[in-house]
Amino acid sequence: MSKFLPLWPDRASTIAGQVDALYIYLVLVSAVMTLLIFVAVAVLAIKYRRRPGVLPHPIEGSPILEIGWSVIPFGVMLTFFIWGAVIYFKERTPPTSSTEVYVVAKQWMWKIEHMEGQREINELHVPVGQNVKLVMTSQDVIHSFFIPAFRLKQDVVPGRYNTLWFKATSPGVYHLFCAEYCGTSHSGMIGNVVVMSPQDYSQWMSGGPSVPLPEAGKQLFNSLGCATCHRFDVQGRGPNLQGAFGKPVLLEDGRTVVADDNYVRESILNPTAKIVAGFKPVMPTFQGLVTDEQLNALVAYVKSLAQQPAGGAQNQAAASTAGQPQTKQVQ
Amino acid sequence: MASAAIPAKPTNYLTNGFTIKSWLLTTDHKRIAILYLISITLFFFLGGFFAMLIRLELLTPQGDLLHADTYNKVFTMHGMIMVFFFLVPVVPAVLGNFLVPLMIGAKDLAFPRINLLSWYLYVGGGLLFLHCMLNGGVDTGWTFYTPFSTLTNTNFIEAGLAIFLAGFSSIFTGLNFIVTIHRMRAPGLTWSRLPLFIWAHYATSLVMILGTPVIAITIVLVAVERLFHLGIFDPKLGGDPLLFQHLFWFYSHPAVYIMILPSMGIMSELITAFSHKRIFGYKFVALSSIAIAVFGFLVWAHHMFVTGMSLYAAMVFSFLSFLVGVPSAIKVFNWTATLYRGSITYATPMLYAFGFIGLFTIGGLTGLFLATLGIDVHVTDTYFVVAHFHYIMVGGQVMGFLGGMHFWWPKISGRMYPEGWAKLSALLVFVGFNLTFFPQFILGYMGMPRRYWQYPPEFQVLNVLSTAGASILAVGYLLPMVYFAWSLRYGPIAEANPWNAAGLEWKTASPPPTFNFDETPVVTWEAYNYDEIEPKELEAPVER
Amino acid sequence: MEQQKNTASLGMWLFLVTEIMFFGGLFCAYLIYRLMYFPAFGAASQTLDIKLGAFNTAVLLISSVTVVLSVRAAQDGNRKQLVTYLVLTVLLGLTFLGVKAIEYKEKFETHHVPGPTFHFDKPFDDNGKEIPVDPQHAQLFFSLYFAMTGMHALHMIIGCGLFTVLTVLAWKGHYTPGYYTPIENAGLYWHLVDIIWIYLFPLLYLISRHS
């Protein structure tokens, strides 16, 4: 692309090329359509200009033509829709084996936390060729995490987690922009996504002190008193969280939900919203008592409990469902 | 008919009373239209002034003209004024108010006093907004998303109340039009004989009365949250910020159809008049207006594809958004087909009509880019969207409005505008517009986000082109102000039907008498009966 | 005249549609939050006085009857009856507002008015155990309660004003069997405000009464 007047940014993710291909297809179809209309109007306007003695010819219309030029364009639009929906589906379905990185947006900076504990401000280092999933929330107003080179963006909303996944294809430094107006320094809330080769990345990772996020979460779990109810040895007042993450949960009101990031976050901030079946609504709320970073750490910790093998009778409970006091099978 | 030679000129609506009271307490729909014209034009230039500040700031990558907070207020004001105080009311309240009774052979609208009330609500809202501006303004963006708008320390409630009042102005106008069109058509004027301008205003009015109350209550809820710290939208207080977006867009998406349907109605009048033949596919064009109004209510969440909404809901909204593009496409094809075997002249209104067809086509096609999920993720919240909506609203609605103003100027004022200057302005508008907004499509795809006060240097060239275009566009808009005013005193006096156009409004004097028609017309002909009307001779003899 | 009557009617119906859209947004917000925070909304709802709410519902229903009867009286040209029913309607409307004032006062005294003075005591279940309910969510219920009933009350006040004006004009003999359009249209407005209450009452007062 001409450096003087580029038409699109660098392509640095697996999805970028697909998005560009779809874009070029739409540009071509639109250009053809536009040209057709411009030419038709110009030709007709000149050919049928008023000439003395030549009367206009009244035409009612033509239902066949109307149907034709409704159905055919709609058919073409359907190709846009399907191709676009396929790409969107891929963008919204992170692969299961993704490295997770937590992002907390605040006016006016991006705070990034890797699972291993590294923290960054306004910069995100990622390895090339690996699936990375960002788990994002905002501390204040709505922001939006936008990486033009990846052709991706996702709003970052306070009060919930949104995710954005990608696989970078080309080492380099790429723009990171905030794309949802958020006040004074909205246009200053910019940074870089630094894509590195695997060796450079592990070198970068090992530099600097850090407590892995799940470890920080474990410390909070104990210091905030979660462990007194959510025990792993005997059945406590709260569900046993061993192996609970990612599994379906039967709730008091009969619904079944999946214990994902948002569920864990909600259960900490609004415990009475989705109470597990068989348990009483006695958990106090931690709204206002934990920061977003601490929430991220706690969620990361609960997630890590899914991977640890647990020994003994607890295993039965863990394997069947999250936190049923009796070993009942869940539907 | 008014003629300079006759000593005793009959009164028309303009000469029927010269006191201020006769204007400010009028119930004549034509005078109310003029009152609106003046107040809306003032707001247009205010909004345009803010646009100029934006484009000047964006000449350089650094934020060096305005402070960041000021810039944020400037683009907010630009958006709020242009959307709520210009684009929504301009065609219905000016041309609609003037022409709807004339076109259906009625003496006035169904509720003339409510019409006057509508104007006062508009003015009240406008004054309140000016007051808010002078007191520091608002910095939320015209979309005032929560929780930013519930937390900002600028005076949102005043701006919100101003928009609330303007909204009720809109609702009453729509109500008036619907009842008028249903109940006050002249004998013989069946629905299928109505001018398409009327169909378009009917469809617009449906959207106005059904959609506007929803933004009214949304504004009330934000105000209540700000005043009493109730957690409706702020998650820290237990609320949901996305609920706001659903409520907001439930009105604001149909609102964009309020901002284009009336000009589409104008288009049907201009193309038929200047091709001197009936519209191609009348029924299809009429029903398309209704279809756009109805389907327009089903697509709001296409503004929310990257909010984390349900993937499957997103697909439904994407599909519906394509569907709503079909009736618009039908109209463009029908207008183009109307040219076929017509007898075409190139007066200024027709030039604006040609411009509309071209620019609306581009704007509409780029809407398809945004409906396409995979592309929207990349270009939403960037200058691509800004370019898209300016193509429709400025390249569409404003061009249509200018075309209509030129077409009906003789009817409204009794004078002709100077054709040479008018054609020059039309050209400046077209060139200036494209130069301003086409580069923004590229900027958007390159990744420049919206509402940026400063930007990375690689975006500068396109921004400079855009600002250059804006300066040309500004001239194109200022010229008509000058020559329309000039024409009031020095323009040639117009006949009743200077264009030999079809339509009941041309069967009465220019300007019309206060009660429109000397006798109620009885309609026995189809719309656009150009085969029964002589085309006008060419203005200048053809050189051979 | 027939055309003018129909025209005015159509205008009023259209205006009522806009009112429905206006309240619709509020109802939508209420329903969503009720789903999200059911226990808190249930507990908060139970602090409303169902007897007063039911009484008010009956008052409004009767007032709609008096409105219909007033239209009938106008049709028959019976000025005395017309004035009587109009006055009754206003009185019933004022009764409604009076009861509402009593309810609002009670809410004020129990610190259920959202804002800095808000305080919500956690309710108890049948076993006497405290039910943990987030006071923030209870406050949200009350804010929607005040917004919805407040907006409704505002419309009632406007309605009472309208009907008072009609009463005076009717007493002066303004309305005949040939012209009673304002009575009819004001009646339509009153019926709509009544219907809105019919929805408000169960949504706000009755959600968790089974326990």
Asked if residue B121 lies in contact with residue B169, where contact means CB atoms within 8 angstroms, the answer is yes
Residues of C in contact with A271 (CB under 8 A): 132
b/e for B380-416, b at 16 or more Cβ within 10 A? bbbbbbbbbbbbbbbbbbbbbbbbbbbbbbbbbbbbb
Percentage, residues of chain A above pLDDT 90: 60
Taking a contact as any Cβ pair under 8 Å apart, which residues of chain C between 115 and 154 contact chain A?
131-134, 136-137
Min distance A238 CA to chain C CA atoms (Å): 15
Q: Looking at this predicted complex, what is its ipTM?
A: 0.92
Residue C62 lies in a domain: yes
Mutate one of B373, B391, B528, B533 to test the A interface: name it (highest A CB count within 10 A): B373
Does residue C210 belong to any structural domain of this protein? no
Report how far residue B371's alpha carbon sits from residue B364's, in angstroms, rounded to the nearest whole number.
Answer: 11
Q: For residue C211, tell me if it sits in a domain.
A: no
Contact between A23 and B306 using a beta-carbon 8 Å cutoff: no
The structure tokens 């206060």 sit at B514
- A37 and A158 belong to one structural domain: yes
Cis bond leading into B511, ω under 30°? yes
**Radius of gyration from C-alpha coordinates of chain A:** 27
Percent over 70 (pLDDT), chain A: 90
pLDDT at B7: 53
Q: Using CB atoms, which chains have 3+ pairs under 8 A with B?
A: A, C
CATH of the domain at C75: 1.20.120.80
Q: Find the mean pLDDT for residues B182-186.
A: 94
Contact between A325 and A280 (Cβ < 8 Å): no
CA A12, CA B122: separation in Å to the nearest integer? Answer: 51
Please give the pLDDT value at position C131: 67
pLDDT in tens, A269-297: 888 888 898 888 888 888 878 888 899 99
Q: Is the pLDDT of residue A60 over 80?
A: yes
The set of chains that have 3 or more CB pairs under 8 A with A is: B, C
Query: Which of B68, B322, B538 is nearest residue A52 as measured by Cβ atoms?
Result: B538
Same domain, A194 and A224: no
Please state the φ and ψ torsions of residue B513, each to the nearest 5 degrees.
Answer: -70, 165
- Per-residue pLDDT at A319 exceeds 80: no
Chain A residues close to C40, C-beta within 8 Å: 272
Does some domain include residue A62? no
Q: Are residues A245 and A148 in the same domain?
A: no
What pLDDT score was predicted for residue B10?
72
A19: enclosing H helix or E strand? helix A16-47
Q: Is C38 exposed, middle or buried (0-12, 13-18, 19+ CB in 10 A)?
A: middle
Query: Are the beta carbons of B171 and B209 closer than 8 angstroms?
Result: yes
Q: How far apart are CA A304 and CA A286, in angstroms?
A: 21
A28-42, B196-210, B524-538, C66-80: range with lowest mean pLDDT: B524-538
Cα gap C132→A275, rounded to integer Å: 12
The domain boundary, picked from A145, A177, A210, lies at A210
Show Cβ contacts of residue B128 under 8 Å, excluding neighbours closer than 6 positions: B158, B161, B162, B165
Q: What was the pLDDT predicted at C43?
A: 86
Domain borders along chain B are 29-532
Q: Is A88 close to B531, i.e. CB distance below 8 A? A: no
Residue A65 lies in a domain: no
Candidates A6, A153, A186; nearest CB to B377 = A153
Residue B455 pLDDT level (bands cut at 50, 70, 90): very high
Q: Which pLDDT band holds residue B238 (cuts at 50, 70, 90)?
A: confident
Structure token digits, residue B291: 């279809």
Residues counted in chain B? 544
Cβ of residue A272 closer than 8 Å to a chain C Cβ: yes
Average pLDDT over residues A82-90: 97
CATH number at residue A276: 1.10.760.10
The one-character DSSP state at C131 is: P
CA distance C112 to chain B (A): 12
Q: Is the peptide bond before A69 cis (omega within 30 degrees of 0)?
A: no
Chains near C with 3+ CB pairs less than 8 A apart are A, B
On whether both A156 and A22 belong to a single domain, the answer is yes
Cβ-Cβ contacts under 8 Å, A93 against chain B: 311
pLDDT computed for residue B263 by the predictor:
97
Unique residue bearing structure tokens 């279809």: B291
More confident residue, A330 or B221: B221
Residue A323's pLDDT band (boundaries 50, 70, 90)? very low
Pairing, β A162-167 against β A248-250: unpaired
Kindly determine whether residue A58 and residue B368, on different chains, have CB atoms separated by under 8 Å: no
pLDDT at B4: 54
- A188 and A222 in a single domain? The answer is no
* Chain B residues within 8 A of A151 when measuring between CB atoms: 377-378
Nearest to B507 by CA among B515, B518, B492: B518
Q: Tell whether C40 is within 8 A of chain A (Cβ).
A: yes
Interchain contact, C132 vs A284, CB within 8 Å = yes
Domain count within chain A: 2
Cβ(B225)–Cβ(B234) below 8 Å: yes
Predicted confidence band of residue B276 (pLDDT cuts 50, 70, 90): very high
Instruction: CATH number for B29-532: choose from 3.30.450.370, 3.30.830.10, 3.40.50.700, 1.20.210.10.
Output: 1.20.210.10
Looking at residue A7, what is its pLDDT?
87
Please give, rounded to a whole number of angstroms, the shortest distance from the CA of A13 to a CA of chain B: 13
What is the rounded CA–CA span in Å between residue B288 and residue B326? Answer: 9
Same domain, A13 and A132: yes
Average pLDDT over every residue of B156-171: 96
pLDDT at A52: 85
- Count the domains in chain C: 1
Encoded tokens for B496: 């009743």
Residue B213, pLDDT above cutoff 60:
yes
The chain B residue lying nearest A181, using CA atoms, is B451
Tell me C176's DSSP state: B
Does residue A325 surpass a pLDDT of 70?
Answer: no
Confidence tier at B51 by pLDDT (50, 70, 90): very high
Question: Do A201 and A277 share a domain, yes or no?
Answer: no
Residue C134's pLDDT is what? 75
Mean pLDDT of chain A: 87
Contact B152 A183 (CB under 8 A): yes
Quote the pLDDT of residue A235. Answer: 81
Q: How far apart are the C-alpha atoms of B452 and B467, rounded to whole Å? A: 15
pLDDT band at A196 (very low <50, low <70, confident <90, very high): very high
Quick check: B336 and A52 CB within 8 A? no
Residue contact B378–A153, C-beta within 8 A: yes
Q: Hey, are the CB atoms on B365 and A56 less than 8 Å from each other?
A: no
**Residue contact B278–A60, C-beta within 8 A:** yes
Whether residues A272 and C40 touch (CB distance < 8 A) is answered with yes
**Residue of chain C whose Cα is closest to the Cα of B176:** C11
Among partner residues C17, C22, C136, which is closest to B217 by beta-carbon distance?
C22
Residue C4: per-residue pLDDT = 78
Question: Is the pLDDT confidence value at B532 over 90?
Answer: no
The answer to whether position A10 is within a domain reads yes
Domain that holds residue C119: 2-205
For chain B, the average pLDDT equals 94
Chain B residues within an 8 Å CB radius of C14: 175, 178-179, 209
Predicted local confidence at residue C209, as pLDDT: 64
Residue B537's pLDDT is 72
* Residue-level pLDDT at B37: 97
Range of the domain at A295: 213-320
The predicted structure's pLDDT at residue C121: 77
pLDDT along chain C (211 residues), means of 10: 80 91 90 85 89 94 95 92 95 96 90 78 68 77 90 95 95 90 94 94 81 42
What residues contact C166, with CB distance under 8 A and at least 6 apart?
Answer: C86, C182, C183, C186
pLDDT band for A234, please (50, 70, 90 cuts): confident
Residues B370-393: tens digit of each pLDDT: 999 999 999 999 999 999 999 999
A25 in contact with B, Cβ within 8 Å: no
Is the minimum CB–CB distance between A271 and chain C shorter than 8 Å?
Answer: yes
CA geometry: angle at B462 spanning B456 and B463, to 5°?
70
Chain B (28-57) residues lying within 8 Å, Cβ to Cβ, of chain A: none
My answer on whether A107 and A177 are in the same domain is yes
* Among the partner residues C26, C134, C137, nearest to B217 by beta-carbon distance: C26
